[in-house]
Amino acid sequence: MSREFLGWDIGGAHLKIARLDASGRIMAVRQIACPLWRGVHELGRACQLIDFPIADPALVHAVTMTGELCDVFADRADGVRRILGEFLRLVGSGDDVRVFGGYDGWLSPAAAQGTAVTAVASANWLALAAYTAELVGDGLLVDIGSTTTDIIPIVAGEVRAQGRDDASRMACGELLYTGVVRTPVAATCTVVPFRGAWVPLAGEVFATLADVYRLCGQIDERHDLMPAADGQAKDRAGSARRLARMVGCDYRENDLAEFGALAAWIARAHRRRVEDAAALVTSRALAGRPPGAIVGAGAGRFIAAAIAREAGLDYHDFGLLAGADAELVEDVAVAAPAVAAARLAWMTA
């Protein structure tokens, strides 16, 4: 019997699913808002929006996650167990469900909910890195999503990351809690040049980087699935209005160019943070040598492309690297860990 593969990346804000046929070809990719911080039932609600079967016995499920860190759970182990419990309720249990356990490899649902639970927590970065290492011998994987950024060195076809879990990866610069959609502007910089002064930003979630990159014309609206900070319109004027609050101002229609310039400065500050982390990682993993190439993934991979361009490095878009059909390249790059999980499961089937 020909079996299809579904790769699942269950995040705290989004559910990403990749569907492969028996030959490994990517047939479909979906990204659905899934605010798990409201409760694990949100996973079921998101699954109702998937427009292809997910409970067919002919399917092989390859699961990875980051959603266990949501503060609705007592701790990460509780999050892994409850997310997997809800997932198994939705798709059924059995040999057709494989859970990615990081360096422990593929696990049964029972093992993933048992003694190996900590290996499952936030292991999606390693699924992506391991698959990318199959495609690129030497490079720096830079996955810039809606909320976080992963920076992972690959040397001679091997993942050379120093960190293993969220805490160690944050400490060594391989995981940044910054992305191009959900990150508050106040988490990106503390002061900005505005109307002739260095103005401290309000310590409020009045605006996010989705507003910044919308004003810069760089965000794909398909990837901004959450409400705006004020619940109002997600257009340029709405973003300028929210950004104005960050510097204690009201927005007027003739201020659009001014707040566009402010957004551009904040975007540069954000890019510098990613560049600095990449420099730290390469100084450690590559002894300061430039990586063979930069592989960009995620909704914010335009930043990775810009870093590569400025450094004179080759750049590979994950969507193209994974062999996606032209109409799926964008979606494959954004849902890269789900695609990687599916491909790794297919390769070892």
What domains are there in the chain, each with its CATH number? 4-122+322-347 (3.30.420.40), 136-312 (3.30.420.190)
Residue 145, classified by CB atoms within 10 Å of its CB into exposed (0-12), middle (13-18) or buried (19+), is: buried
DSSP track, 239-287:
HHHHHHHHTT----GGGHHHHHHHHHHHHHHHHHHHHHHHHHHHHHHST
Around 290, how many Cα atoms within 13 Å sit in the side-chain half-sphere?
12
Residue 230 CA to residue 16 CA, distance in Å, equals 26
Token digits for 223?
Answer: 């990837």
**Segments of the chain with pLDDT less than 70:** 1, 94
Predicted TM-score (pTM) of this structure: 0.96
> 116-152, pLDDT tens digit by residue?
899 999 999 999 999 999 999 999 999 999 999 999 9
Beta-strand pair 26-33/14-20: antiparallel
Token digits for 187?
Answer: 């988490």
pLDDT at 254: 84
Contacts of 96 (CB under 8 A, 6+ apart): 57, 59, 60, 61
pLDDT at 1: 53
pLDDT at 93: 72
> 161-213, pLDDT tens digit by residue?
999 999 999 999 999 999 999 999 999 999 999 999 999 999 999 999 999 99
Element (DSSP H or E) covering residue 128? helix 124-135
Which residues are paired to 65 by β-bridges? Answer: 10
Question: Pseudo-torsion of CA 216, 218, 219, 220, nearest 10°?
Answer: 140
Which residues are paired to 26 by β-bridges? Answer: 20
